[in-house]
Amino acid sequence: MKPSHFDEIFTIMEASFPVSEIRTYSGQKALLDNPHYRIYTEQDEGGRLIAFLAAWEFLELRFVEHIAVSPDVRSGGTGRRLMNSYLARSPKPVLLEVEPPQGELEQRRIGFYERLGFHLNPYDYVQPPLRSGQQELPLHIMTYPRPVSAEEFRLYRNILYTQVYQEAAPGSE
């Protein structure tokens, strides 16, 4: 990602996610200095940024924190291509968070990831607040290329809590 693209990325992020699932502008921009954080982008033929994938890359796993496509070009296969390209980069497990499958939109999103080879895991998980004053967000973890055991899930959750969210892992207090 070119640093000059950050404003375009944040605009797509704000159009694609509820406030509870993104950091503030300054909080998100500060992540660019973290050596584990990467943003991959997709541009159209004219050079306009149309999609991005923001991920955390660790020794044990890779975590897709956000993937989004500009609203005016959605449903054209861009998100699928971007994710498939990311999945092909490394044999490490890839994790992402999804909302519980309670509504049609959430079920469609989970189905999208399942068609890419992800698996919805049955373990309880909450995302720590990304902004001050927010509540924890009940989510589920999906993993690629296979489901994970309870022990693997605890290890991965602990990495996410301590490295991504800068929080104490559940049960570590």
Beta strands in the chain (DSSP E): 37-43, 49-57, 62-69, 94-98, 119-120, 125-127, 137-144
Token pair for residue 101? Answer: 């499958």
pLDDT digit string (tens) for 142-166? Answer: 999 999 999 999 999 999 999 999 8
CATH of 3-164, one of 3.90.550.10, 3.40.47.10, 3.40.50.620, 3.40.630.30: 3.40.630.30
Q: What is the pLDDT of residues 12-29, one digit of tens each?
A: 999 999 898 999 999 999
Domain locations in the chain as residue ranges: 3-164
Does the global pTM surpass 0.85?
Answer: yes
Burial class from Cβ neighbours inside 10 Å (0-12, 13-18, 19+) for residue 95 reads buried
User: How confident is the model over 78-88, as pLDDT tens digits?
Assistant: 999 999 999 99
